[in-house]
Amino acid sequence: MTAIDSIAALEAVVGKPSPAIDLKVIDRVDPTAQRWLAASPLMFAGVGDGDGGMTITLAGGAPGFVHSDGPTLSIPLDHIDDPALLRPGEGFGSLLLLPGIGETLRINGRVAGIAEGAARIAVEECYVHCAKALIRSDF
């Protein structure tokens, strides 16, 4: 099996994404995404492990426990199952769920810092992800 180690290698296997995909991905948390954060009680977070791999942890709390000022996401450390996994400079990818809603909010970026009881994430991508996987899973 050949390793897929670049976007070009991935596109050679699955094809290029539709140009419409670029229209939905933004580089900040806009007002619509902030309303999603205000209603979301659960986040799955993938974080870089320092060796090129990823680890997943959960974060949860009352709806609105995750905050954003637009370019930065703030997650209280005491709401993250394993906050020690988040290390400054490492990649970060998240999936936020709303009860009863099939679509999910994705926010990706880098861990910018840990301070004052919160992890700060520099947002690089923010977009709504379709419900196909949840529908297929009968979740």
Strand partners of residue 47: 55, 92
Assigned domain for 36 exists = yes
- Between CA 49 and CA 23 the distance in angstroms is 30
pTM across the whole model: 0.82
pLDDT in tens, the chain (139 residues): 677 788 787 778 777 765 555 558 999 999 999 999 999 999 999 999 989 899 999 999 999 999 999 999 999 999 999 999 999 999 999 999 999 888 999 999 999 999 999 999 999 999 998 888 778 877 6
Look up the domain containing 48 and give its range.
25-137
- Between CA 21 and CA 52 the distance in angstroms is 26
Assigned domain for 9 exists = no
The total domain count for the chain is: 1
Question: Are the C-beta atoms of 25 and 125 separated by less than 8 Å?
Answer: yes
Residue matched to tokens 């899973």 = 137
Assigned domain for 13 exists = no
Q: Which is it for the CA torsion 74, 45, 114, 6, positive or negative?
A: negative
Assigned domain for 15 exists = no
pLDDT tens, position by position, 53-83: 999 999 999 999 999 999 999 999 999 999 9
Question: Are the C-beta atoms of 119 and 87 separated by less than 8 Å?
Answer: no
CATH of the domain at 44: 2.30.110.10
Going by C-alpha positions, the residue among 99, 97, 61 that lies closest to residue 77 is 61
